Amino acid sequence: MNPPLILGSTSVYRRGLLDRLRLPFTCGRPDVDETPGRSEAPDALAIRLAQAKAEEVAARMPGAWVIGSDQVAALDGRPLGKPGGRDAAIAQLTAMSGRSVIFHTALALARAGQPTLQAQDRTEVVFRMLQADEIARYVDAEQPFDCAGSFKCEGLGIVLFEAIRSEDPTALVGLPLIATARLLRTAGYTLP
């Protein structure tokens, strides 16, 4: 029998992805300060936050393995946060038009008293040249205010791209399932 599993996130996107592995799990809200460190690289920020989320929830839930994940979008090596509103989303998409953006999606699997397991996916998203009116239409239609990079690739956001380059297509949504399954197997889980 598999040990208890907790997703250290309240993200509906991550919950939907983890459902695909057909393992019973519950969700726990991590209490972690997500402020980037001074000059912290986007990939380092993503792994630090994923680990902090997993370990914070694991400390409150002894005996359970906890999945923590975080995603940081980077344009020209600088992190892009979640836009939070319409104007910021339009500004992000305008800045990314015709450019490549790197999404660092980090994963940590933690259990109190055990070493934390980690993985990270690097996804390159190549945006096509976007016109101001199509950016505004997209933002109004999908309202991607809670998404790094101001788009939902699992929805209408896919029309904004020229290409996606990644080893794991689920990473861009927020939880790299290939790495998740690998870490769970390492922790002793039997997957369906």
β-sheet bridge partners, residue 65: 5
Per domain, the residue ranges of the chain are: 5-186
CATH for 5-186? 3.90.950.10
**CA torsion, points 14, 184, 166, 7, in degrees to nearest 10?**
10
* pTM, 2 dp: 0.90
**CA torsion, points 41, 69, 145, 73, in degrees to nearest 10?**
30
DSSP code string of 28-96: -------PPPTT--HHHHHHHHHHHHHHHHHHHSTT-EEEEEEEEEEETTEEE----SHHHHHHHHHHH
From the list 43, 70, 121, 168, the catalytic residue is 70
| pLDDT values of the chain reduced to their tens digit, one per residue, 192 residues | 889 999 999 988 899 999 999 999 999 999 999 888 888 999 999 999 999 999 999 999 999 999 999 999 999 988 888 899 999 999 999 999 999 999 999 999 999 999 999 999 999 999 999 999 999 999 999 999 988 889 888 889 999 999 999 999 999 999 999 999 999 999 999 997
Q: Is 70 a catalytic residue?
A: yes
Q: How many CA atoms lie within 13 A of 192 on its CB side?
A: 7
Tokens describing residue 28: 């726990």
